[in-house]
Chain A
Amino acid sequence: MYDDSHPAGLTTGSHDNAYGVGAAHEKRGLAVELLIAALLQLGVRISLVIVVTGTLLTFARHWDYTFSQASLPPLLETGAVFPRTLAAVVAGIMTLDGPAIVVAGLIVLIATPLIVVATCLLAFIYHRDKVFMAISTVVLVILLFSYTRR
């Protein structure tokens, strides 16, 4: 007996003209929101740990970075060398390259909202909410489209 009158939930929403108070069946909507919150937090924290590890590794492997002033400008100039593609990142991780690990952590961070939107899509599919299925699919496609090379 699923009654979609709980207004604040992700997969529910309110009635057309009433505010729709008095819902007792919001358990599922609640669970989805807690899952999304957990995913957000998880993504941010995992990426933070990876980024810090990569930074420490970078300095551990390049002792000259701690005292050589000449080594800074090449890292910051427009044509600086660092892994710029997924393939380069994977190759860098294999050789325990610090910057590649940092970029991997940043990719985890960038992918977190993507995973959250995908979770929303799954929740809408589960609740057969066709309009919001379409909306979250559009958002997901736009997000994936941002990874195409231009």
Chain B
Amino acid sequence: MFLLYGVWTVSILWGCMTPLVFTITTFVISVVAGMLGSLLGLGGGMILVPILWLLPPHVPLKFASGASIVCVIATSGGAGAAYVRRRMANLRIALFLAMATTAGALTGGYLSGRMPERQLGLIFAAMLGYSAFAMLRKKHELDGEEIPDRLADSLRLHGRYYDTASGRWKESRAGRSWLGKAVSWTVGGIARRMARDAEAAPALTEEEEDGEWVLYRVARSPLGLGLMYVAGVVSGLLGIGSGALRVPAMDVAMKLPTKVSSATSNFLIGITAAATAGVYFMRGQINPFVAAPVAAGVLLGAMIGSRLLGRIPSRHLRKLFVIVLLVLAIQMLWKCTNMASHWHELTHWLQWLWGHQGGRHV
């Protein structure tokens, strides 16, 4: 019912696509993408770029990825602040890996300006397919054995994080007038806020009631560095955060606890995206008419999503998201390989294959 209503509204809107209507529809789509992204731990850019490119009015891929990279920085900064404050993100690891991943982003950004849209679309389709596969796969369990890593030892990358059973964190909110809130939301009270956060932050030396400090060691940091370079290249090529590529690097290769790796990779994504965005901006890919509704929408969606987190069962949502990713991957593939023009040959070939198999079985 809702779907029908949505299709109806959208078809009417497309009939009269003025700049205002475009801005509003893009904003609404971005809110949904940002919400899904924050609920499932995947950036909104991943689904936004194909949607903007594939649906009318067909935003050029370079503007779609330019808008996406901007919203990646926004969501990473918004969520990253909380992770850094809770000391869930290991900033030493992040800076160490940032060397590789920003270099990768420059490489990717350089390459993306010299590749035709179709090739980029194919890589994007592959990335969408991979993300769908990664979402379906089971979570990796950490095995107990330690792998000695002398580089990580000498850089003192190992760390610990505060694990609360409830996953919640006490954060005080001071009551203020509407205007006071608006001013303090944007610029005011940094020092005050920091003082408040310092109070709310866990006492390192005392035992807390509902949580404990979990210690972890880093393994295979050179391999992590290499994988991060690859993630950076993909981010620079496509204008996404490529979080799906970072998780295996940090969880599996470097053996970080899931909470630490997702927090650290969030911080890292922001730094990578800044490098990519610099390249894109200098190349004139950041179109304000596309980037403004996308950035504002995804940020709002991410805020809503983080409020809803824990209230919505993520299992069904995950399935839905996998389907969305696969549909987008196929659509991208369809557009980029120009399959429509080869449809006749393709059906022929499929029929031949079908007949061949059938014959063998009979």
Contact = CB atoms under 8 A, between A and B. Distances in A.
Given A109-B74, A110-B70, A46 B289 contact: no
Interface in B27-63: 57-60, 62-63
B197 A16 contact: no
A110 B257 CA distance: 29
Contacts of A45: 185-187
Nearest to B158: A14
A146 B275 CA distance: 6
Interface stretch (B125-133, B279-287, B305-313): B279-287
A118 B84 CA distance: 16
B250 interface: no
Interface residues of A, number: 90
Interface of B is mostly: helix
Nearest to A115: B274
A48 B286 CA distance: 15
Most B CB atoms within 10 A — which of A26, A37, A68? A37
Contacts, number: 261
Contacts of A114: 274
Q: Is the interface of A mostly helix, strand, loop or mixed?
A: helix
Given A8-B90, A109-B295, A136 B95 contact: yes
A128 to B, nearest CB: 14
B22 A34 contact: no
B161 A84 contact: no
Contacts of B123: none
Interface string B328-359: 00000000000000000000000000000000
A113 to B, nearest CB: 4
Interface residues of B, number: 85
Contacts of B110: 150
A19 B214 CA distance: 10
Contacts of B10: none
A84 B284 contact: yes
A47 B159 contact: no
Interface in B211-261: 213, 215, 217
A62 B289 CA distance: 13
Contacts of A42: 186-187, 190
Given A102-B291, A138-B99, A145-B106, A44 B74 contact: yes
Given A16-B153, A51-B295, A69-B18, A113 B185 contact: no
A47 B283 CA distance: 21
B159 A143 contact: no
Nearest to B64: A76
A148 B275 CA distance: 11
Contacts of A80: 63, 287, 289
Contacts of A145: 106
B120 interface: no
B16 A55 contact: no
A17 interface: yes
Nearest to A68: B18
Interface in A100-122: 102-103, 105-107, 109-114, 116-117, 120
Contacts of A72: 17-19, 22, 57
B318 interface: no
Contact of B281 (A36, A110, A135): A110
26 contacts: A6-B204, A8-B90, A19-B217, A21-B160, A33-B85, A33-B87, A36-B84, A44-B78, A48-B295, A51-B292, A72-B17, A76-B59, A83-B288, A107-B281, A110-B73, A110-B274, A110-B277, A113-B271, A116-B271, A120-B95, A138-B99, A139-B271, A142-B275, A143-B278, A145-B106, A150-B283
Interface of A: 4, 6-10, 12-17, 19-24, 26, 30-31, 33-38, 40-49, 51-52, 54-55, 58-59, 62, 65-69, 71-73, 75-78, 80, 82-84, 98-99, 102-103, 105-107, 109-114, 116-117, 120, 131-132, 135-136, 138-139, 142-143, 145-150
Interface of B: 16-20, 22-23, 57-60, 62-63, 70, 73-74, 77-78, 80-82, 84-85, 87, 90-92, 95-96, 98-99, 102-103, 105-106, 109-110, 113, 153-161, 185-187, 190, 193-194, 197-198, 201, 204-205, 213, 215, 217, 270-271, 273-279, 281-284, 286-293, 295-296, 299
